[in-house]
Structure 1
């Protein structure tokens, strides 16, 4: 398996997905529907959360390519939700890169839209971005 993984990472076809602080590099390999995230089985990495798993597989299911590809991901930064959304974007972008006709199918479902919402910066005089110190009238 290690040699197979090394061959995959040398290819030019990388789907890059970002969400909040999470950055995911996605590789699609012909296989039988396995998910590997950071060299760990996907189910274990995502703590067996069905919502996260369905979100990652949704672009592939929409194209009826179930059990034809293995997804191998290198992801860092953020939490599980942000990482999951980053992986989904990376998978969708990679599917469009492989076959440009897939774009018209995936775009209406919002799989190709990068969610640009990020954490607001902290302002001086405040505790967080908007939380002010407690006001005392007297």
Structure 2
């Protein structure tokens, strides 16, 4: 019993010593610096479902190029273009950055999500102040949902074959 009290007192002494060293006990602020390459671009990788997007962001006129084609040509559906442009709307940087992305794997919806994730990561690497807004919108978290695999003895992942009584 006495040893437990002594160890608790030792822990209290350690926390007060740590607080007096740096001025704050639990607040540890990480100073983030921009990660920009020699060409003035920020790079990030975005992932969604089976799609992987490599994304480069640099200041420009707002042109988005995906696999060598314009965004409107590659993502024909307006909803997919809306998904890709969401990080700029949240960050308040619409039309200020050019994006070059290469995407592989998955379908168009997964690829749009991967490009969105990559743009968000690259934006916060270019301007670390934007991290709070992008994180609050949930754009920096990789969406881990995947398609469930097909099981044997089933028509799909969960659907059974049609039952016939006769």
Name the CA distance, whole Å, in 2 between partners of 1:68 and 1:22.
Answer: 26
TM-score (norm 1): 0.83
- 1:97 maps to what in 2? 125
Would you identify which runs of 4 or more consecutive aligned residues in structure 1 move more than 3 Å? 10-13
RMSD: 2.0
SS in 1 for 2:102: strand
- Structure of higher CA gyration radius: 2
After superposition, the C-alpha distances for 1:58-115 in whole angstroms (9 at most, x for unaligned) are 2112222222210111001111111111100110011122232211111121111211
Q: Is 1:26 paired with 2:26?
A: no
Aligned length: 129
- 1:69 maps to what in 2? 97
Name the CA distance, whole Å, in 1 between partners of 2:165 and 2:118.
Answer: 52
User: Mind listing any 5+ residue stretches in structure 1 that lack a counterpart?
Assistant: 1-7
- 2:150 maps to what in 1? 122
RCO higher in structure (CA 8 A, sep ≥6): 1
User: Mind listing any 5+ residue stretches in structure 2 that lack a counterpart?
Assistant: 1-36
TM-score (norm 2): 0.70
